[in-house]
Amino acid sequence: MFDVLNKIADFGIVPVIKLDDAQAAVPLGKALTDGGLPVAEITFRTAAAEEAIKLMSGTYPEILIGAGTVLTCEQADKAYAAGARFIVSPGLNPAVVKHCIDKNVPIVPGVCTPSDIETALGFGLNVLKFFPAEACGGLAAIKAMSAPYGNVKFIPTGGVNESNLNAYLAFNKIPACGGSWMVADALIKEGKFDEITRLTREAVTRMLGFEMAHIGVNEESADKAMAVAKMFASVFGFPIKDGNSSVFAGTGVEVNKSVGFGKHGHIAIRTNGIQRAVAYLKRNGVQINDASAKFKPDGSMVAVYLQEEFGGFAIHLLQA
């Protein structure tokens, strides 16, 4: 169960899909995969859901497929038999929750009140769908309820879009968001799968937010590092900040006091979510030097290097 929930967190976005025609599931699966987001929640709002899950999971076994809007134990059984690996419901039906737990099927029930949360905790669940998110107070409501329920994580769905996605994901109690803007019903019905790929890729790019943070220069000693930093300061007026292992000139140039990673030095790439960025890069064949990772005392990753150098520079990701 936890493996599936961890994978959902690695994706960060779960496309919530309504399909009237099961045959659209295969090109839709390709569109999501090409867009860099091989995960889907296919809702039981239509009669095509079961067959759609079966077709998508059979054609693209690498896609993490869940079944949404599951209201009955029978629907849960059909979804799981068709290939769904997790169940999502709009509310918390104790009978459906118990049924899934008894069968060791991951379920993320919907909640929007403290009473809902306490019922879920009674079943041993602490990753919950917050629905309908925006209508129930959005991020402010989640933050308020997180105070007394510190061990609960929420997947907000309903009103989440490209403009508020990162605000939600920046809160550490939100491992992922559900959204449908990249898989809009009209786009699917009109067969605009290239547009779905574009919107999906755009959503992933916005979520990860890769951007240049600084460039690092290797030097052999503290004195040499300070001398180089002072050159930048004298020419460009950058302020100097002396640290334990390096000297910064402004925010864009770091001069190491000893030779570190990279033939020439390193380039730091900032990202909105380093754990999601690592998962994304690994899915796309980029090797990560896991041994180089640095963490905060709370266990959250703040930096990690890629295995390969780019033009003699090591590349490291930096949590924004």
The residues that are catalytic are: 41, 129
Is residue 239 within 8 A of residue 201, CB to CB? The reply is: no
Taking the CA of residue 152 as centre, how many other CA atoms within 13 Å lie in the half-sphere pointing to its CB? 31
- Give the Cα separation of 88 and 48 in Å (integer): 17
- Write a three-state SS string for the chain: CHHHHHHHHHHCEEEEECCCCHHHHHHHHHHHHHCCCCEEEEECCCCCHHHHHHHHHHHCCCCEEEEECCCCHHHHHHHHHHCCCEEECCCCCHHHHHHHHHCCCCEECEECCHHHHHHHHHCCCCEEEECCCHHHCHHHHHHHHHCCCCCCEEEEECCCCCCCHHHHHCCCCCCCEEECHHHCHHHHHCCCHHHHHHHHHHHHHHHHCCEEEEEEEECCCHHHHHHHHHHHHHHHCCCEEECCCEEEECCCEEEECCCCCCCCEEEEEEECCHHHHHHHHHHCCCCEEEEEEEECCCCCEEEEEECCCECCEEEEEEEC
Is residue 20 within 8 A of residue 48, CB to CB? The reply is: yes
- Give the Cα separation of 165 and 145 in Å (integer): 19
* Cα torsion through 253, 254, 260, 261, rounded to 10: -40
